[in-house]
Chains A and B, each alone.
Chain A
Amino acid sequence: MSETSKEEIIIGQLRGILEESSVKDQDWDAFCAATTIEDIGLDSLTILDLLYDIEEVIGVHLEAKQVLKISTVGEIVSLLIAEGA
């Protein structure tokens, strides 16, 4: 599978996770690698929820500390690919 299609699949999975748990009005069709953490209303507490869901849906355990440093969806995707997603 090419890196691009892998990225697209992961972005789709992340969108699914976030769309389900989000309480914020959000244009999910605009959800892409450039979307920022702030755009989707994630804060340091809700990131813990995201990490739980990523592990269940994508099957990759990410270190919470790493995720707290990122600012865009694309960076999460890169982290996931680096961890073997």
Chain B
Amino acid sequence: MKEIRYFIEYCLVRLILFLFDALPYRFACMIGIGAGTIYWWIDRKRQKVAVANILKSGVETDPKKARVIAKKAVHSMAILLVESLRSNEFLEGDKMYDHLTFDIQPDVMAALEDPDKGLIIASGHFGNWEVAGHYISRFKPVAGITRKMNNPRVEKLVKQRKSRYRFRPIPKHDSNTGRFLEILDEKEILALLFDQHAGSYGLMVPFFGHPAVTFKTVAMLHLVTRTPLCFASCKRVGPMKFELKSSNLIQVKRSGNKEEDLRNILTQLNRDLENVIREDPTQYLWAHRRWRDDD
């Protein structure tokens, strides 16, 4: 029974991919936005969370305008999906340079180009992080956490579409520190999105001025392994056009006070993320409950 279900799902996904591949990009985006709008109206709970988060962050104080931002943010995530499905088409070979502009700091570029150095890239759910991963995989393999598809046929299909991209997916259930350390030991790039509620392995640091439990992992890996760390973002600046930006390498000298060191790094990362979000709040995933009442 399961096999039949998997097969039907696989056929549906293939059909959707076929249609998306055949459609002009703008039309595919319009369909994505349409689907995003339907999702927006159905999931009222997320809608409320997103609007409340925008108001709390202070990027908008008018509830009506916050609602517009929240809705556009849903569209942005739908476009991200379309872009990801079509990414091989526009990121292949030198075509990539027609679609990307760069503002990568020289010390980060040096770390990317140094075969004897690994790099930890911290980023948030902003713009199109998949495009960023695709680009930096030109320097060395990039590993990041992904959610594995339940359907093995669909999982295989997705992997095939990304075969040219040196991305090493770490399934969420296997995302332990040992795996991260292996990646850094092999002098590869570990890219982690740190902007979700961290639960027990987090530290309370301000995000838009309000305490938020922030994942310590990137900061601890940096402090313990001395692997360089930076913040990076990939903002959409037009249809299939992106601006890839990095901070300088984050240099925190160990003070002997672990919590203080962590706080310094995570505060800086949250601040970098806030700055890119302020540039275009419609490209951020506001629907996640980063601030929780029970904290």
User: Chain A: residues with CB nearer than 8 A to chain B?
Assistant: 43-49, 51-53, 55-56, 64-65, 68
Contacts and interface: CB of A to CB of B under 8 A. Distances in A.
A68 B256 contact: no
A22 to B, nearest CB: 13
B177 interface: yes
Contacts of B220: 45, 48-49, 52
Interface of B: 176-178, 181-182, 185, 201, 216-217, 220-221, 223-225, 254, 256, 258
A52 B185 contact: no
A46 B176 CA distance: 11
Contacts of B182: 65
B181 A65 contact: yes
B221 A48 contact: yes
A45 B177 contact: yes
Contacts of A48: 177, 217, 220-221, 223-224
Contacts of B221: 48
Given A44-B176, A52-B224, 18 more contacts: A45-B176, A45-B216, A45-B217, A45-B220, A46-B201, A48-B177, A48-B221, A51-B224, A52-B220, A52-B223, A52-B258, A56-B256, A56-B258, A64-B181, A64-B224, A65-B181, A68-B178, A68-B181
Pick the 10 closest A-B CB pairs, nearest first. Answer: A44-B177, A48-B220, A44-B176, A68-B178, A51-B224, A45-B201, A65-B181, A56-B256, A64-B181, A48-B224
A44 B223 CA distance: 15
A56 B181 CA distance: 21
